[in-house]
Amino acid sequence: MVSKKDASVSPRPTILLVCEPNSPLQPAADALKAEGFRVRQARSTYRAIVEQTASPAEIVLIDTSPLLERDMEVFEVFRSLAPSPFLLASFPASAREKARAALESGADAYVLEPFDPREITVLLRRSLERRQAPGEQLPLNEKLASLARFAAGVAHEVNNPLTTVSGWVQLSLSDMADDDPGRQTFETMQEEIERIASIVRNLLCFAGQPPLDEEPVNVNALLEDLLSSVAHEGVHVASYLHEELPLILANSAQLRRACENIIQNGLKCLDGRGELLVATRPVSSEDQVAIEIADDGPGIPAQNLSRIFDPFFSDGDDGPGLGLSAAYGIIQGHGGTIEVTSQENEGTRFVIRLPLHRLRSRNRILEYAK
């Protein structure tokens, strides 16, 4: 019997269970809940794909009994989502060939009915232990993941009362005459509320909240428009944008904001002299689009390099801010990565990598729903 003391994966990951209430997987789900796993349930594969896209689970368990042979492509759709979940499927004992087809389509493992619910528990624990073994790279480093969870909690706690206060201030202003002696005080209050609201928005960006209103985005066009609107007096800005860059699925406003924050950080470091480079390229070997933003400024001291994405980090030369933290969260929220390298007195280079498969996944989900 597997007990909670035996568990080595902490905290327990989330499981998305795809089955009807009377499925053979239901007892396994109950056993997993008893083990401390968080279990959500979807009654159809289409609903499960939509849920996984909106709120990714680390593990997906699928009862394949209702699926036909042609429906095995559902595993390819799940596999293409970011982050990619661990896929475990259950099959009737007579469907061994179908189970092998599922493995070819992207499933990680399968079990044949009848099975002991504890068999699934042990299988999942061992698989997760292998995934998180020393030396394997996790999606977020532990420190930033912890900061992101804290930031999200703080942002939500602040946002609710802030909205109430802002409403009362706006109501008071609407009742005041333009020459009311108290109007200036309330206008100042509203300006400060907007400043706090901006900090809250940046905290939510850093926390990697899933982007809303995503659409196919032309990254080159976005960057061209951004560079045309950014003041860079004294700095030479060079752009090298790949002519055949594929579209990506993104929230255009958020992605623009992330790139602008990094560009503005570079311009601030250059202080009116030097060169800023913005380039794009497809990374076909990794199915990604890369955005590179580099400057030849003073660089980042080695002792600060690991902290530049921390919220409110300050190097002492300027006030604390959230620009790079927000950029980090936005890129993470889009399933991408952001890396930085820097040499003192030589410059700094940021590389953003965004996945192409999210756009293809959305198209396949839409096709699958037809």
CATH of the domain at 65: 3.40.50.2300
Residues 116 and 202 in one domain: no
Give the tokens for residue 187: 């206008």
Residues 290 and 350 in one domain: yes
Instruction: Say if 227 falls within a structural domain.
Output: yes
pLDDT at 279: 93
The C-alpha torsion from 119 through 125 and 126 to 130, rounded to 10°, is 160
Half-sphere exposure of 258 (CA within 13 A, CB side): 34
| Distance between CA atoms of residues 352 and 288, nearest Å | 10
Q: Residue 348 sits in a domain of what CATH number?
A: 3.30.565.10
Last residue of a domain, one of 118, 136, 154: 136
Residues 250 and 155 in one domain: no
Q: Contact, 266 vs 295, CB < 8 A?
A: yes
E strands, 245-306, are 248-250, 275-283, 288-295
Instruction: Say if 369 falls within a structural domain.
Output: no
Instruction: Say if 195 falls within a structural domain.
Output: yes
pLDDT (tens place) for every residue of the chain, 370 residues total:
333 333 333 456 788 888 887 888 888 888 888 878 888 888 887 788 878 777 788 888 888 877 665 566 777 777 766 567 888 888 887 887 787 777 777 787 778 887 777 777 776 766 666 555 444 433 434 445 545 555 555 665 676 677 778 788 888 888 888 888 888 888 888 888 877 776 666 665 555 555 456 788 899 999 999 998 887 778 888 999 998 898 888 888 889 988 998 998 888 888 888 899 999 999 877 688 999 999 988 888 887 777 777 765 555 554 445 678 778 878 887 888 888 898 888 889 999 999 886 655 555 545 544 4
Contacts of 357 (CB under 8 A, 6+ apart): 80, 81, 82, 287
Residues 44 and 178 in one domain: no
Residues 223 and 350 in one domain: yes
Instruction: Say if 182 falls within a structural domain.
Output: yes
Instruction: Say if 193 falls within a structural domain.
Output: yes
The number of distinct structural domains making up the chain is: 3
Contacts of 219 (CB under 8 A, 6+ apart): 245, 247, 248, 255, 280, 289, 291, 354
Residues 170 and 44 in one domain: no
Q: What angle do CA 33, 34, 40 make, to 5 degrees?
A: 5
**Residue ranges making up the domain that contains 200:** 142-206
Last residue of a domain, one of 106, 136, 166: 136
pLDDT at 143: 47
Q: State the pTM of this model.
A: 0.49
Residues 311 and 196 in one domain: no
Contacts of 264 (CB under 8 A, 6+ apart): 230, 323
pLDDT at 351: 93
Last residue of a domain, one of 136, 161, 191: 136
Residues 180 and 271 in one domain: no
Q: Residue 162 sits in a domain of what CATH number?
A: 1.10.287
| Distance between CA atoms of residues 229 and 266, nearest Å | 15
